[in-house]
């Protein structure tokens, strides 16, 4: 039986801890915050509970690694299916992102009748489906041991050109359509049409169709996994910040704010740059400088009276004009409303709203006066956008209204520069070049959204499943 330390209590850490404990290993999980969750954590204000970052749960299909993980441990998550997972406001268009593929294609034809959507999206659907079904592909990329038995179409041209090149090949140059795709891709891949890996883009663009609403939020899903981990005797130590890792005589000595301890194996789920500061390794230091995140987030949290949504969607994406929220930046705002009957997030007759957008190059060093002015200005602009697209909302009913910035995420998650969302899936970060869990050799492994297969609860859980399957037989 190995003694294993896991650093970070997000989805990757909890999943790997649970899997290892099931195999009989002695597992200690270190989490610096008061609660587990990481970017999938939560906070409580007044009568409300808010997810800190991630608010959507997908994919939850039968092929999803997250579905498999939950089933394997008999973890029941109360989820609600969404026939219209998302409503998208792009320019003067209001687009319903239907779960049903045929309805989705017809909806696109209604808005862009001159584009052969069936040709485009059947290609996207086909590649995405084959990728989720072909788990050998992901496992082999994980170990860099590619075999000729794998579907050559998956690793062929599809992974060596961008979404933009794919659109050009099909003579699609409509800027409004490209903008429409861009804003969906930035959520799921941290990239845009001109630089996203096309193969990864197919997963990103089909992401919404398997979205479900998790009662109690994403944090509730992770709390259920935490409960299972504790049942399997995982020692979860919150408020424990790892400060240094040193290898000595075949063991790893971990120094935290609570003292020293030794382990046979270490698994870090922190971003590469954070891990590199804890463990002085030349190879890790070099890789951490090459593969870095690009974006952080601005988030708005509101607790308010329930109101009649204009349609059945709980998730909405508003595509912005330059300057509408941030000076000289367009982008989009993603709105996540809680269900009217989700009383674990809000009291009866109340709901929560979490809205977020990407931001880069945020000045973490601005003084307090400028910081408060910055937040005040953005909250005012945000309210204008909110009233424009959701006129039924009564701002006078707000019982809580606050926003988070990269400074907030840095404090809450301890991530460098407050960067969240993982490493962008741009073409230069090809899956074969993406950092792998075993880059440091045996007994020190890496997981999380900086490691292949990348961001999202399902992806980091898949990374944990692959690691345990390959290295802990």
DSSP string, 27-70: EEEE-SSSSS-GGG-EEEETTEEEESS---B---STT-HHHHHH
Question: Does residue 411 sit within a domain?
Answer: no
User: Based on the domain organization, do 336 and 444 belong to the same domain?
Assistant: no
CB neighbours of residue 347 within 10 Å: 13
Q: Is residue 422 part of a domain?
A: no
Instruction: With respect to residue 410, please indicate whether it lies within any of the assigned structural domains.
Output: no
Q: Are 232 and 18 in contact (CB under 8 A)?
A: yes
Q: Is residue 202 classed exposed, middle or buried when 0-12, 13-18 and 19+ CB atoms within 10 A define those classes?
A: buried
Identify the pLDDT of residue 145. Answer: 40
120 and 195 in a single domain? The answer is yes
Q: Could you tell me which of 341, 343, 346 has the C-alpha nearest to residue 397?
A: 346
Count of CB atoms situated within 10 Å of the CB of 342: 21
Does residue 14 contact residue 226 with C-beta atoms inside 8 Å?
yes
State whether 206 and 89 are in the same domain: yes
Whether 328 and 394 map to the same domain: the answer is yes
Instruction: Give me the domain span that covers residue 114.
Output: 83-210
Q: Based on the fold, state whether residues 331 and 390 are members of the same structural domain.
A: yes
Radius of gyration of the chain (CA): 22
Residues 270 and 348 in one domain: no
Residues 6 or more apart in contact with residue 162 via CB below 8 angstroms = 193, 194, 195, 196, 197, 198, 201, 427
- pTM for the model stands at 0.93
Cβ count near 261 (within 10 Å): 16
Q: Are residues 96 and 152 in the same domain?
A: yes
**Same domain (yes/no): 259, 171:** no
Contact 235, 378 (CB under 8 A): no
Mean pLDDT by 10 residues, the chain (473 residues): 94 97 97 88 90 85 90 96 94 95 98 97 92 66 44 67 96 96 94 94 93 94 97 97 94 96 97 92 88 90 89 89 82 94 95 94 93 95 96 94 93 86 89 83 92 86 90 83
Q: Residue 149 has what pLDDT?
A: 40
- Identify any residues that bridge with 351 across adjacent strands, giving them in sequence order: 304
With respect to residue 412, please indicate whether it lies within any of the assigned structural domains.
no
For residues 87 and 204, membership in a common domain is answered with yes
Same domain for 193 and 286, yes or no, is no
**Contact status, residue 27 vs residue 234, Cβ threshold 8 Å:** yes
Counted domains in the chain: 3
Handedness of CA 383, 389, 395, 398 (dihedral sign): negative
Clarify whether residues 202 and 96 are in a common domain: yes
190 in the same domain as 89: yes
């Amino acid at each position: 039986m190995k003694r294993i330390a896991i650093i970070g209590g997000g989805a990757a850490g909890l999943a790997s801890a649970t899997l290892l404990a099931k195999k009989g290993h002695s597992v200690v999980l270190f989490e610096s915050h008061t609660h587990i969750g990481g970017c999938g954590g939560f906070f409580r204000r007044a009568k409300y509970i808010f997810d800190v970052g991630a608010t959507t749960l997908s994919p939850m299909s039968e092929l999803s690694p997250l579905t498999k993980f939950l089933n394997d441990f008999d973890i029941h998550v109360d989820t609600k299916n969404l026939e219209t997972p998302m409503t998208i406001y792009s320019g003067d268009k209001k687009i319903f992102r239907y779960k049903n593929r045929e309805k989705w294609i017809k909806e696109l034809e209604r808005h862009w009748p001159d584009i052969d959507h069936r040709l485009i999206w059947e290609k996207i659907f086909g590649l995405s489906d084959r990728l989720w079904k072909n788990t050998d592909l992901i496992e082999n990329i994980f170990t860099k041991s590619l075999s000729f038995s794998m579907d050559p179409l998956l690793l062929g041209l599809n992974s060596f050109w961008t979404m933009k090149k794919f659109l050009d090949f099909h003579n699609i140059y409509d800027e409004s359509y490209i903008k429409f795709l861009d804003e969906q891709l930035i959520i799921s891949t941290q990239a845009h049409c001109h630089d996203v890996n096309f193969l990864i883009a197919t997963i990103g663009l089909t992401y919404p169709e398997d979205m479900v609403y998790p009662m109690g939020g994403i944090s509730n899903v992770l709390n259920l996994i935490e409960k299972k981990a504790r049942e399997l005797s995982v020692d979860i130590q919150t408020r424990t910040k790892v400060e240094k890792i040193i290898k000595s005589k075949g063991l790893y000595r971990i120094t935290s704010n609570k003292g020293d301890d030794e382990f046979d194996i270490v698994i870090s789920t922190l971003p590469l740059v954070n891990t590199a500061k804890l463990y002085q390794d030349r190879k890790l230091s070099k890789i951490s400088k090459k593969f870095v995140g690009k974006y952080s987030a601005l988030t708005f949290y509101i607790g308010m009276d329930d109101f009649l949504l204009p349609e059945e969607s709980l998730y909405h994406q508003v595509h912005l004009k330059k300057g509408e929220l941030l000076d000289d930046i367009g982008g989009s705002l993603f709105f996540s409303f809680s269900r009217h009957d989700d009383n674990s997030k809000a009291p009866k007759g109340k709901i929560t709203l979490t809205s977020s957008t990407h931001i880069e190059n945020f000045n973490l060093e601005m003084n307090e006066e400028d910081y408060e002015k910055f937040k005040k200005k953005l909250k005012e602009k945000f309210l204008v956008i909110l009233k424009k697209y959701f006129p039924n909302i009564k701002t006078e009913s707000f019982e809580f209204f606050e926003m988070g910035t990269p400074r907030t995420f840095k404090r809450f998650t301890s991530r460098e520069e407050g960067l969240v969302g993982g490493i962008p899936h741009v073409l230069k970060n090809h899956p074969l070049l993406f950092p792998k869990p075993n880059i440091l050799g045996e007994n020190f492994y890496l997981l999380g959204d900086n490691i292949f297969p990348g961001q999202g609860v399902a992806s980091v859980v898949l990374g944990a499943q692959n690691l345990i399957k390959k290295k802990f037989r």
